[in-house]
């Protein structure tokens, strides 16, 4: 198959759907499919993709408005020249740029891969979106329910394929990872390390973890909270940490190309999201064998198993979060069990080969339908 993935994420941003595209593109390329990934010129997204798999072709684009004729023309020419069969789009802008280009060219199928509910109850969305897509992929039933609520995306058009991630690179030796992390962040050997991974935006709920930390550190003064990531709320979060006199407990790492050491070295993952269509970060924690405390929102209950691989808590409640973290940290055996069961769940069900199998079968169905109709 010849597939073009299109993602217009801003140049300095890299999030969950960009990681999904990188993983899926690389996995399909490894199976012999011709993969191109398109994005903004000089973007962090394309930079990371370029390091991922030498068999992936990159399409660097000047992207501005949703209906820019020059961008649409460039995509259309690329589709035609490279005989692209499928255009997989992400944002509304991608639906319009890639969808119009594909319809203009006439042969490609357009698949909307939805990582966040960006549907709107507006005339332009109701009219344009159904005309520009042939199918929809979502990682969770929760997100499927969200995007079909306005009625212009029909449930039968949507295929749920859970996200899967690959095995960790390297030997994954916890003692060695812990040594490196202790040295990197000046953490003492007897510290408890908590990790929270995600962009610093409102929906990730970092502020509730900071507020919960007031009570947590009373019981566990040796804890260190590693906030893995960056984003527009960084300054606000740093100010909040200082106002609550929690500076010595929090470490903000900034954007990292590789989280393996931080995850393997950690003792627990805390994920206080307000909104979460799926939760790749949680899955990464499970892969590393971490017990998880997370908000009971969106697709998270489909990723973890409550009381077996994680404890789920009411979102936007610092008190519930602190009580649950304190409780689980007091029970070493439960932490070990959750970590082992979470890793088993990832390895059995939520691995990369399973996801690539599902996406391959899903895309092939369009060829079969077309052949039957022909």
Residue ranges, CATH 3.40.50.2000, the chain: 2-165+352-373, 174-348
Q: What pLDDT was estimated at residue 171?
A: 61
Q: At what angle do helices 318-329 and 332-348 cross, to 10 degrees?
A: 100
* pTM summary value: 0.90
- Give burial (CB, 10 Å; 0-12/13-18/19+) of 353: exposed
Mapping DSSP to helix (H, G, I), strand (E, B) and coil, where does residue 76 land?
A: helix
Distance CA 226, CA 181 (A): 10
Q: What pLDDT was estimated at residue 374?
A: 46
Phi, then psi, of 28 in degrees rounded to 5: -70, -35
Q: What pLDDT was estimated at residue 365?
A: 84
Q: How far is the CA of 67 from the CAs of 71, 91, 95, 110, 278, in angstroms? A: 8, 13, 10, 16, 30
What is the 8-class DSSP label of residue 168? P
Distance CA 159, CA 157 (A): 7
Distance CA 5, CA 113 (A): 9
- Give burial (CB, 10 Å; 0-12/13-18/19+) of 252: middle
**329 pairs with which residues across the strands?**
none
CB count within 10 Å of CB 341 equals 18
Q: What pLDDT was estimated at residue 372?
A: 46
Q: What pLDDT was estimated at residue 212?
A: 98
Distance CA 341, CA 348 (A): 10
CATH 1.10.10.10 fits 2-165+352-373, yes or no: no
What is the 8-class DSSP label of residue 247? G
CB count within 10 Å of CB 157 equals 15
Nearest to 6 by CA among 67, 70, 61: 61
The arrangement of secondary structure in 174-348, i.e. its CATH architecture, is 3-Layer(aba) Sandwich (3.40)
- 328, 268 Cβ separation under 8 angstroms: yes
For residue 75, the surrounding DSSP H or E stretch is helix 69-81
The residue written with tokens 């606000």 in the block is 236
Q: What pLDDT was estimated at residue 371?
A: 42
pLDDT along the chain (374 residues), means of 10: 96 90 96 97 95 93 93 96 96 96 93 93 93 96 96 95 88 88 96 96 97 98 97 96 98 91 97 94 96 97 97 97 98 97 97 97 77 46
For residue 250, the surrounding DSSP H or E stretch is strand 250-254
Distance CA 155, CA 149 (A): 9
Distance CA 66, CA 97 (A): 6
Q: What pLDDT was estimated at residue 162?
A: 96
Distance CA 249, CA 25 (A): 38
For residue 354, the surrounding DSSP H or E stretch is helix 352-373
Q: Which long-range CB contacts under 8 A does 334-340 form with residues at least 24 apart?
A: 334/291, 335/267, 335/268, 335/291, 336/291, 338/291, 338/292, 338/308, 338/309, 338/310, 338/311, 339/289, 339/290, 339/291, 340/289
Which value, to the nearest 10 degrees, does the dihedral of the CA atoms of residues 150, 151, 157, 160 take? 40
- 18, 45 Cβ separation under 8 angstroms: yes
- 326, 219 Cβ separation under 8 angstroms: yes
């Amino acid at each position: 198959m010849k597939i073009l993935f299109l993602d217009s994420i801003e140049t300095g941003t890299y999030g969950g759907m960009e990681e999904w595209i990188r993983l899926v593109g690389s996995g399909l390329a490894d199976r012999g499919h011709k993969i191109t990934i398109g994005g903004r010129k000089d973007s962090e997204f394309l930079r990371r993709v370029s390091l991922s798999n030498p068999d992936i072709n990159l399409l660097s684009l000047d992207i501005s408005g949703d209906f820019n004729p020059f961008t649409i023309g460039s995509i259309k020419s690329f589709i035609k020249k490279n005989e692209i069969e499928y255009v997989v789009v992400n944002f509304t802008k991608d639906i319009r740029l890639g969808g119009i280009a594909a319809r203009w060219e006439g042969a490609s199928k357009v698949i909307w891969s939805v990582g966040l509910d960006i549907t709107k109850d507006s005339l332009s969305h109701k009219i344009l979106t159904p005309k520009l897509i042939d199918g929809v992929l979502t990682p969770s039933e929760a997100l499927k329910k969200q995007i079909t609520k306005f009625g212009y995306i029909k449930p039968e058009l949507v295929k749920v394929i859970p996200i899967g991630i690959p095995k960790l690179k390297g030997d994954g030796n916890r003692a060695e990872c812990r040594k490196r992390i202790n040295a990197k962040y000046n953490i003492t050997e007897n510290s408890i390390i908590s990790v929270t991974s995600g962009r610093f935006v409102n929906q990730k709920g970092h502020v509730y973890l900071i507020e919960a930390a007031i009570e947590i550190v009373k019981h566990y003064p040796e804890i260190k909270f590693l906030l893995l990531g960056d984003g527009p709320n960084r300054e606000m979060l740093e100010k909040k940490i200082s106002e609550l006199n929690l500076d010595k407990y929090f470490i903000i790492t900034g954007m990292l190309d590789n989280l393996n050491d931080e995850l393997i070295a950690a003792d627990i993952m805390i994920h206080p999201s307000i909104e979460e269509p799926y939760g790749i970060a949680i899955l990464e924690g499970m892969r590393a064998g971490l017990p998880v405390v997370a908000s009971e929102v969106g697709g998270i209950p489909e990723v973890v198993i409550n009381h077996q691989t994680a404890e789920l808590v009411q979102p936007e409640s610092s008190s519930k979060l602190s009580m649950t973290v304190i409780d689980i940290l007091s029970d070493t055996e439960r932490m070990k069990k959750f970590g082992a069961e979470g890793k088993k769940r990832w390895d059995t069900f939520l691995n990369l080969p399973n996801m690539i199998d599902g996406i391959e079968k899903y895309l092939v169905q369009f060829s079969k339908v077309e052949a039957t109709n022909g």
